[in-house]
Structure 1
Amino acid sequence: MKKFSIVIAGGGSTFTPGIILMLLENLERFPIRKIKLYDNDENRQMIIGEGCKILIKDKNPEIEFEYTTNPEVAFSDVDFVMAHIRVGKYPMRELDEKIPLKHGVVGQETCGPGGIAYGMRSIGPIIEMIDYMEKYSPKAWFLNYSNPAAIVAEATRRLKPNSNVLNICDMPIGTETRMAKILGLSSRKELVVRYYGLNHFGWWTDVRNKDGEDLMPKLKEYISQFGYLPPEVVDKQHMDPSWIETHKKARDIVKLDPNTLPNTYLKYYLFPDYVVEHSNKNYTRANEVIDGREKHVFGECKRIAMEKTSKNTTLHVDVHASYIVDLARAIAFNTKERMLLIVENNGIINNFDSTAMVEVPCLLGSNGPEPLKIGNIPQFQKGLMEQQVSVEKLTVEAWIEKSYLKLWQALTLSKTVPSATVAKKILDDLIEVNKEFWPNLK
């Protein structure tokens, strides 16, 4: 069986060790000959890289491993690029969250002004890496799970329409894992779902088991009382205080359309006043991650490198990572696995913009995704999605055209922002702190 070569772009990420552990646990399903890490932050990647070197040596020493800041070294001789970059790292995420909150607006890394700011930073580096892949490994596939996935997906549609790029998000995976736990099932893979929307902005319309039994009534009954908080902890990654609150809030979102089950991120658009009221303007989600996950992962990688053993490590496979092998396997072995992917609408949803990047179930094989038809969607969802997809398109147009006006329009159109006046104040503050990362807007 062929063995594959992978580069993880964003090698200095706190998620990298979990992805490598997940790859090592699945070698029978997805054989690997080489793993490379690529990052533009040499010091940060070195800490993660030295820890991962020991992890691989202890668990599977025949796999080649290296980490590099050289694009030619990183992107040559690879079959898959697994991209999860965070441009500006957590200090910029903190500003994405705190600047909108200062103006009484939702501060969140992928939703509202914070997501727009993050998207403006991400577009250029993602396109640059796709260019590297096509230059050095033209037959490879680019698996993008960098946030904000909706804006990045629209940028790849506009700027790289013929490239081997797949955009995917772990959030529905995490929610389906909770659904399975609520139902007493061992895995989300026992579920067959229907879902549609934009990334971080969608609805489940049907959830069944493999025998075709309708599981929606039981799920609705539970979620209307407890949200997506299952009776026991599912994963550590999404159980910080801010996440617990997010999972709970689903019980209020579901009231707006009792026929569906919502993506948790809809709380930021449907209850922005509630979110702001319950936010700590001085200690946001970024601070939770810096003080929690960041310290743990970097501390553990340093310990592993110093002791030269990964025995008794507290690093673990993340929910964030669990679907990536399925994604790569589907392309490598033409499995036609059913997965939620972000693809160009092109008639999947009849009564919606054909150029929108929508998140829907697809059968994934060697030639890419085959989306499943959704048909018409209700006016409520359609209206919300049209507003949000316009935000995403205007953001990408603002980046391409270096347009201050279009970025102001994008912020003004966001359902999280109350007026054009507030949008302009937030935009001017964001421009000031993003000079190193954004195009110079005119």
Structure 2
Amino acid sequence: MAAAAPPHENSGRIQEGSTMAKSSYAVTIAGGGSTFTPGIALMLLKEHDRFPVDKVVFYDNDAERQEIVAKACEIYFKENAPELDFSYTTDPEEAFTGIDFVLAHIRVGKYAMRELDEKIPLKYGCVGQETCGAGGIAYGMRSIGGVIEILDYMEKYSPDAWMLNYSNPAAIVAEACRVLRPDSKIINICDMPIDLMDKMAVMCGLKDHRDLQYSYYGLNHYGWFTKIFDKQGNDLMPQIKKHMAKNGYLDGISHEEGQEQHIDESWIHTFGKAKDVYAIDPETIPNTYLKYYTYPDYVVETSNPNYTRANEVMDGREKRVFGACRKVIESGTAEGAGFEADAHATYIVDLACALAENTGERFLLIVPNDGAVSNFDETAMVEVPCIVGSNGYEKICQGKVPQWQKGMLEQQVSVEKLVVQAWVEGSYQKLWQALTLSATIPSAKVAKQILDDLIEVNKDYWPELK
């Protein structure tokens, strides 16, 4: 089992005696019915030369939803990779036996519950967002049990496998794994910083995030870049800061292949608003999600309480992907269906490859602090750069954070810890405290009103609170 190293400059989690390198690997995608699953599966094929995969299993507890995605992918695989051993199942033993990696991106409650996560807080004039504020807390209370269940399946049927978890809200899920499964082989990751680094690369005339070296600290969806260099060691921060001060991340949207046409309007607003978040501390480059905590009034004013991001996704990506899958199934061929590898999935393959092939690459991971941020809670699950190889990860120390960031981080990490304590203890009081402490909620009175509404709609998903 994984054992945490003591705090030092490059502290981390080292897996003793781990020599994973093989001629090929078996992968289970947990969340087989997700709209992101086809893109991830195709990315595995695209990257076959450096990360050879000979077996892919889709797992989901929603058989009907998964079957639509899986049948379409099955047709694609037969046409493009007939040698691949592909299957899909709702049986945990079948899904998690004999595999090397679990790629987990589950959504407990699906988009119907996400819609409630967003609309209930907005009813009380508070931020309604998938991973931030009350919505993120509600989602976290649903996700903890689902992620722990999948982790336990993996350890039961394939104890030497690694689980790469990018299920949201990653900060709360990571804290729950730290508390409930501290020795498990799970790495919690997020693609948002990768997307932002891709945009910064474009600002500097570079191809993508792989051309950058960086320093970063924070919590998931709650952090700051402090240094950005190119591979030759040139400081890119002055150039990036000029773009941020003028247009936020908007200057980093690539115009190649009409990429800007595929970005939803809500994200355009988010990338633009980063200009104002950056202005608070122009010495660092902020994660876009910080807008929800620093400008909650703006977020509420510009939100439509009757049509939130969940509706946008259901009417957009959800319909597009499932429409394409049904078209493939009906026609019997994936040709012309528009299936393509998801560029954002490259970081998942990169991480799996680093673990499997001992590449020693740098990744932003969500890991126990243990001194990586020296003036912050030792037990916090921080998002910091790590060096990854076949024995696990080693954290790169980020030193002390300034008072502004420290104050924000202390508040937010307390919210996340209280949520996990509430789940573990079944505590109404702890969850009320978590909501009251959130920077997105103005008072304990409003926090209680939101909580009571959330309890009512989450009866089938949350533990009973007393």
TM-score, scaled relative to structure 1: 0.99
Partner of 1:40: 61
Aligned-partner SS, 2:371: coil
Moved more, 317-326 or 274-283: 317-326
Once the two structures are superposed, residues 90-137 of structure 1 have per-residue CA deviations (whole angstroms, 9 ceiling, x without a partner) of 000000000000000000000000000000000001111111101100
Partner of 1:22: 43
- Determine if the alignment matches structure 1 residue 410 to structure 2 residue 431: no
**Which residue identity is paired with 1:349?**
V
Partner of 1:356: 380
CA–CA distance in 1 between the matches of 2:241 and 2:262? 21
**Which residue identity is paired with 2:236?**
L
1:70-89 → structure 2 map (5 Å cutoff):
70-89=91-110
- Determine if the alignment matches structure 1 residue 178 to structure 2 residue 178: no
Q: Is the 2:199–2:254 contact (alpha carbons within 8 Å) kept by the matching residues of 1?
A: no
Q: How many residues align?
A: 442
**Which residue identity is paired with 1:400?**
V
**Which residue identity is paired with 2:209?**
R
CA–CA distance in 2 between the matches of 1:34 and 1:231? 35
- Determine if the alignment matches structure 1 residue 440 to structure 2 residue 461: no
**Which residue identity is paired with 1:422?**
V
Partner of 1:261: 285
Q: Is the 1:174–1:319 contact (alpha carbons within 8 Å) kept by the matching residues of 2?
A: no
Aligned-partner SS, 2:83: coil
Partner of 1:396: 420
Partner of 2:390: 366
CA–CA distance in 2 between the matches of 1:361 and 1:191? 12
CA–CA distance in 2 between the matches of 1:281 and 1:157? 35
Aligned-partner SS, 1:67: strand
Q: Is the 2:254–2:260 contact (alpha carbons within 8 Å) kept by the matching residues of 1?
A: no
- Determine if the alignment matches structure 1 residue 59 to structure 2 residue 80: yes
Partner of 1:215: 236
Partner of 1:232: 254
**Which residue identity is paired with 1:4?**
Y
CA–CA distance in 1 between the matches of 2:348 and 2:342? 11
- Match for 2:145 among 121, 124, 130? 124
1:91-170 → structure 2 map (5 Å cutoff):
91-170=112-191
Aligned-partner SS, 1:322: helix
CA–CA distance in 1 between the matches of 2:374 and 2:255? 39
- Determine if the alignment matches structure 1 residue 13 to structure 2 residue 34: yes
Query: Could you say which structure has the greater relative contact order, defined with CA pairs below 8 angstroms and 6 or more residues apart?
Result: 2
Q: Is the 2:142–2:461 contact (alpha carbons within 8 Å) kept by the matching residues of 1?
A: yes
Partner of 1:384: 408
CA–CA distance in 1 between the matches of 2:169 and 2:275? 25
Q: CA deviation at 1:223?
A: 1.2
TM-score, scaled relative to structure 2: 0.93
Q: Is the 1:237–1:318 contact (alpha carbons within 8 Å) kept by the matching residues of 2?
A: no
Moved more, 52-61 or 88-97: 52-61
In structure 2, the gaps of 5 or more residues are 1-21
CA–CA distance in 2 between the matches of 1:320 and 1:86? 18
**Which residue identity is paired with 2:282?**
P
- Residues 393, 237 of structure 1: alpha-carbon distance in 2 compared, 3 angstrom cutoff: farther
Moved more, 177-186 or 79-88: 177-186
**Which residue identity is paired with 2:71?**
E
Once the two structures are superposed, residues 38-94 of structure 1 have per-residue CA deviations (whole angstroms, 9 ceiling, x without a partner) of 001010000000011012112111010011000000000110000000000000000
- Determine if the alignment matches structure 1 residue 420 to structure 2 residue 444: yes
Q: Is the 1:237–1:319 contact (alpha carbons within 8 Å) kept by the matching residues of 2?
A: no
Q: Is the 2:104–2:166 contact (alpha carbons within 8 Å) kept by the matching residues of 1?
A: yes
CA–CA distance in 2 between the matches of 1:318 and 1:291? 20
**Which residue identity is paired with 1:37?**
F
- Determine if the alignment matches structure 1 residue 347 to structure 2 residue 357: no
- Match for 1:325 among 330, 349, 352? 349
Moved more, 173-182 or 421-430: 173-182
Aligned-partner SS, 2:143: helix
Once the two structures are superposed, residues 362-406 of structure 1 have per-residue CA deviations (whole angstroms, 9 ceiling, x without a partner) of 000112110101111100000000000000000000000000000
The sequence identity of aligned pairs, in percent, is 62
Q: Is the 2:219–2:383 contact (alpha carbons within 8 Å) kept by the matching residues of 1?
A: yes
Q: Is the 1:149–1:167 contact (alpha carbons within 8 Å) kept by the matching residues of 2?
A: yes
CA–CA distance in 1 between the matches of 2:266 and 2:208? 25
- Determine if the alignment matches structure 1 residue 248 to structure 2 residue 272: yes
CA–CA distance in 1 between the matches of 2:450 and 2:243? 39
Q: Is the 2:327–2:337 contact (alpha carbons within 8 Å) kept by the matching residues of 1?
A: no
- Match for 1:199 among 198, 220, 224? 220
- Match for 2:296 among 272, 275, 283? 272
